[in-house]
Amino acid sequence: QWIVMDVYFSSRRRHTRCSGVSWARRCVQETGIQAGLATRGKVVFSTSFGAFLTRAFDQVRMSGIGKIPLKICGSHAGSSINRDGPSQMGLEDIAIFSAIPDSVVFYPSDAVSMENAVVLAANSKELVYILSLIHI
């Protein structure tokens, strides 16, 4: 059984106005909740814009050191993401997540690769980061 936590869609359903700052705060809170559930044996995927996930890096790094198997999906990779603008571009996230010891980073190229990456992540005992071009 998997649990999926999503900052973007949950904030859209509950609030009519969301700012990047509140999304970033939610990413940090979501990472803490996810780490707690993962230590109890749950497979938890969290997802948000890659640019905002970098703000939760301290919690992610400490989870990596503690061998907590987080499963994180970041979206909006690269520098061509249309109307969302430059503040939404995940440019540093691959480097940051790759720097965590024993972590795994997937950057799938299509829907089939994404499905396989999710299955591999769910069955992995390591911290896994999946980066997608669009929000999943």
The percent of residues above 70 in pLDDT, for the chain, comes to: 70
Q: Can you give the pLDDT at residue 126? A: 94
Q: Can you give the pLDDT at residue 123? A: 94
Average pLDDT of the residues in 30-45: 86
Q: What is the 3-state secondary structure (H, E, C) of the chain?
A: CEEEEEHHHHHHHHCCCCCHHHHHHHHHHHHHHHHHHHHCCCEEEEEEEHHHHHHHHHHHHHHHHCCCCCEEEEECECCCCHHHCHHHCECCHHHHHHCCCCCEEECCCCHHHHHHHHHHHHHCCCCEEEECCCCC
Task: Kindly indicate the confidence band of residue 15, based on its pLDDT and cuts at 50, 70 and 90.
Answer: very low
pLDDT over 60 (residue 21): no
pLDDT over 90 (residue 50): no
Rg (CA), the chain: 14
Per-residue burial over 94-125, b if 16 or more Cβ lie within 10 Å, else e, is bebbeebeebbbbebeeeeebeebbeebeeee
Average pLDDT of the residues in 103-117: 92
Task: Kindly indicate the confidence band of residue 133, based on its pLDDT and cuts at 50, 70 and 90.
Answer: confident
Average pLDDT of the residues in 59-86: 80
